[in-house]
């Protein structure tokens, strides 16, 4: 699932939506809630672009494998097969790779300090020294 500044809690956790009958509202679970309950793997792409309040809602998953949905006063335990992964964008412009790498390292350190497991891949030294080319875009 691609994330950006407009990613909101309702999309991920769920929301009440209009039902079939006038004046009726029904709960529609979001993508994280569905994955959590059904034991699916979910990848949040560019999670570093997601607003802080959205990340704060997802953090309990890393500690307790439990999701809290305030609108419903509900706590949902994760299915045993559920896995949540996130990627960091670390910048889009290959010319700024060195500064993007620094931003990526800072975001990874912040995520790690929050109790999340962080796995990184390093750009090969020869690529970093050579600078951006069309092959590393």
Instruction: List, run by run, the mean pLDDT of 10-residue segments along the chain (137 residues).
Output: 89 92 92 94 86 85 86 91 83 45 60 58 49 42
Between CA 126 and CA 91 the distance in angstroms is: 20
Q: In the prediction, which pLDDT does 49 show?
A: 83
Q: pTM for the full model?
A: 0.67
Q: In the prediction, which pLDDT does 15 show?
A: 92
Residue 94 · residue 49 · CB < 8 Å = no
Q: In the prediction, which pLDDT does 107 show?
A: 62
Q: In the prediction, which pLDDT does 108 show?
A: 63
Q: In the prediction, which pLDDT does 84 show?
A: 87
**Which tokens in the block code for residue 34?**
């569905």
Between CA 45 and CA 92 the distance in angstroms is: 13
């Amino acid at each position: 699932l691609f994330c950006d500044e407009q990613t909101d809690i309702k999309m991920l956790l769920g929301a009440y939506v209009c039902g079939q009958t006038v004046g009726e509202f029904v709960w529609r679970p979001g993508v994280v809630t569905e994955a959590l309950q059904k034991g699916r793997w979910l990848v949040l792409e560019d999670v570093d672009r997601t607003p802080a309040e959205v990340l704060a809602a997802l953090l309990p998953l890393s500690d307790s494998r439990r999701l809290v949905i305030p609108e419903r006063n509900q706590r949902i335990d994760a299915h045993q097969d559920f896995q949540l992964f996130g990627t960091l964008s670390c910048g889009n412009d290959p010319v700024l790779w060195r500064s993007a790498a620094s931003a990526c390292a800072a975001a990874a350190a912040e995520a790690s300090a929050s109790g999340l497991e962080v796995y990184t891949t390093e750009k090969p030294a020869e690529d970093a020294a050579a600078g951006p080319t069309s092959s590393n875009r």
